[in-house]
Chains A and B, each alone.
Chain A
Amino acid sequence: MTLLYFAWVRQKTGRGEEQLSLPADVKTVSDLVAFLSRRGGGFADAFADPRRIRVAVNQEHTGFDAPLGEGDEVAFFPPVTGG
Chain B
Amino acid sequence: MITIRIQREDFDVGAEVAALDAEDTGAVATFTGRVRKEGDLVALTLEHYPQMTEREIGRIVEDAKARWPLMGVTIIHRVGRLLPGDNIVFVAVAAKHRGAAFEACQFLIDYLKTRAPFWKEEERGDGTRWVDARHSDDKAAERWRDT
Q: Is the CB of A6 within 8 A of B49?
A: yes
B48 interface residue (CB < 8 Å to A): yes
Q: Is the CB of A6 within 8 A of B33?
A: no
How many A-B pairs have beta carbons closer than 8 Å: the answer is: 74
Q: Is the CB of A78 within 8 A of B133?
A: yes
Interface size on A (CB < 8 Å)?
17
Chain A positions within 8 Å of B, measured between CB atoms, are 4, 6-8, 56, 59-61, 73, 75, 77-83
Chain B positions within 8 Å of A, measured between CB atoms, are 33, 46-49, 51-52, 55-56, 77, 88-89, 109, 112-121, 130-134, 137
Q: Is the CB of B120 within 8 A of A75?
A: no
Q: Contacts A59-B56, A75-B52 given: A80-B117 contact, CB under 8 Å?
A: yes
- In the complex, the chain B residue whose C-beta lies closest to that of A7 is B119
